[in-house]
Amino acid sequence: MTIKQLIKLEDKAKQVWVISPELHFDVENKDFGELVSVNLGEKTKYRYIVPGTAKVIKNIALYQKKYKLTAEEIRNNFLILPACEFNPFITETAIYNGTSKDCVACAAPAHEDNNLVIKYETKTAKAMAKHFKALWKKYKRTNP
CB atoms closer than 10 angstroms to residue 48: 19
* 138/52 Cα distance (integer angstroms): 21
Q: Where are the beta strands (DSSP E) in the chain?
A: 15-19, 45-51, 78-81, 92-96, 104-108, 118-119
Question: Within its chain, how far is the Cα of 50 from the centroid?
Answer: 9
Percent of the chain past pLDDT 70, that is, above it, reads: 99
pTM reported for the whole predicted model: 0.79
* 43/45 Cα distance (integer angstroms): 6
16-66 pLDDT tens trace: 999 999 999 999 989 888 999 999 999 999 999 999 999 999 999 999 999
Instruction: Label residue 132 by pLDDT band (50, 70, 90).
Output: very high
